[in-house]
């Protein structure tokens, strides 16, 4: 496909729409793109975007991995500690300005979410359960003494971000647009206290498979020296500060050839918690089991969806403590998460012992059913998808 160039406009609010078009001399054709903003070319006259003849961004979709591809726009909304979020605006994707004494930089006062938008075969766009991400952000904000956007504000901001970056949504079956909402303490604070100002920001990036293995089974190493969370801590919310502490164990595991790390609980040191970026399930004697959250494990949206879906298929699903011994004796193991979707586990290594698992029909069935709903290929009897218009 032949790439073109188009002056890009980004703007403030969603009052109207700006029609940007360019003329293709080679093909004597006009291409038009509508954005939900007005009077913006004058504000950003030098912005240039690359287009293809079919309206997609100039990306090799067949080689799309899970990495940052910068898109055109992001959504930003601010409020003071004593106020509520009211209205936000789209602006060009780019660096943001923070005080060196901001709450996020000094005390890690921040949360993030992750969800995806899919392009249907008819060209429409679908989100998967965005209200669940909004609710989880509100729960996390309460724990970290932060103001949070309402569910409607959250979902509307996500929709605006998707529509503004729609050319970056991969073709059907080639991936998705990963959406990253952030809520951070952006105001300056020196002593330990809640920040005086909060920023809600949403950006997006087209992505493919999370693991380099693609849809092939992943190999996990059980970590028993370092722990992801502790009782009474923040393991049950999507705090930004939860993730850097897992990097050392994860990097060591990857250096040894493993896909990811699997953490045990910090109290008994015998029960499963979760992997660095996803929840875990085991299948044994026709029963599906997953660790109960109990405040130390993140309640994943995909985890919740898989539990509901499996029960609808007639499986017995248990949320309970699961020992490392049970894991090693399981018939089938798989991980779930927004980024990984449903990832079959091929092996678990613990104290030098490697146990291999078959990739059974269960994880395949759940993966196909879930992605079928997310992409609009299957009827959404659960009412989980939200169309972006």
What residues are annotated to the active site?
Answer: 238
- Name, in order, each residue with C-beta under 8 angstroms of 34's C-beta and a sequence gap of 6 or more: 17, 18, 19, 20
Q: Tokens 């992409």 map to which residue?
A: 375
Three-state DSSP at 359 gives coil
Q: What span, in angstroms and rounded, lies between the C-alpha atoms of 11 and 164?
A: 10
How many residues are listed for the chain in this entry? 389
Q: Is 383 left (phi over 0), alpha (psi -120 to 50) or beta?
A: left
Three-state DSSP at 154 gives helix
Q: What is the CA radius of gyration of the chain?
A: 22
Distances (CA, A) of 55 to 28, 90, 356, 364: 16, 21, 45, 33
Q: What span, in angstroms and rounded, lies between the C-alpha atoms of 315 and 59?
A: 41
Tokens representing 329 are 């004796």
Which of 181, 157, 168 has its CA nearest to residue 208?
168
């Amino acid at each position: 496909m032949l790439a073109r160039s188009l002056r890009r406009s980004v703007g403030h609010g969603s009052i109207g729409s700006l029609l940007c078009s360019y003329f293709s001399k080679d093909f004597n054709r006009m291409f038009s793109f509508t954005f939900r903003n007005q009077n913006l070319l004058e504000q950003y006259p030098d912005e240039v975007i690359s287009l293809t003849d079919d309206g997609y961004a100039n990306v090799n979709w067949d080689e799309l991995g899970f990495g940052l591809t910068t898109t055109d726009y992001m959504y930003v909304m601010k409020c003071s500690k004593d106020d509520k979020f009211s209205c936000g605006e789209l602006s060009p994707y780019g660096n943001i300005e923070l005080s060196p004494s901001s709450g996020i930089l000094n005390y890690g006062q921040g949360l993030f979410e992750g969800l995806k938008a899919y392009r249907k075969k008819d060209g429409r766009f679908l989100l998967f359960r965005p209200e669940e991400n909004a609710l989880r952000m509100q729960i996390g904000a309460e724990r970290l003494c932060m103001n949070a956007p309402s569910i409607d504000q959250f979902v509307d901001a996500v929709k605006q971000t998707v529509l503004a970056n729609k050319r970056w949504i991969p073709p059907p079956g080639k991936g998705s647009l990963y959406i990253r909402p952030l809520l951070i303490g952006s105001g300056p604070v020196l002593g330990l206290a809640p920040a005086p100002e909060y920023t809600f920001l949403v950006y997006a990036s087209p992505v493919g498979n999370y693991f380099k293995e693609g849809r092939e089974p992943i190999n996990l190493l059980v970590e028993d020296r370092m722990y992801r969370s502790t009782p009474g801590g923040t393991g049950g919310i999507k705090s930004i500060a939860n993730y850097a502490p897992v990097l050392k164990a994860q990097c060591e595991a990857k250096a040894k050839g493993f896909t990811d790390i699997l953490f045990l609980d910090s109290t008994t040191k015998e029960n499963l918690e979760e992997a660095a970026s996803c929840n875990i399930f085991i299948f044994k004697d026709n029963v599906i089991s997953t660790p109960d959250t109990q405040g130390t494990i993140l309640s994943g949206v995909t985890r919740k969806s898989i539990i509901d879906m499996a029960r609808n298929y007639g499986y017995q699903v248990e949320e309970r403590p699961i020992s490392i011994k049970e894991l090693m004796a399981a018939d089938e193991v798989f991980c779930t998460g927004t980024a990984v979707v449903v990832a079959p586990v091929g092996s678990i290594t613990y104290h030098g012992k490697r146990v291999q698992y078959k990739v059974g029909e269960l994880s395949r069935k759940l993966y196909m059913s879930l992605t079928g709903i997310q992409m609009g290929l299957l009827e959404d009897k659960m009412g989980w998808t939200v169309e972006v218009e």
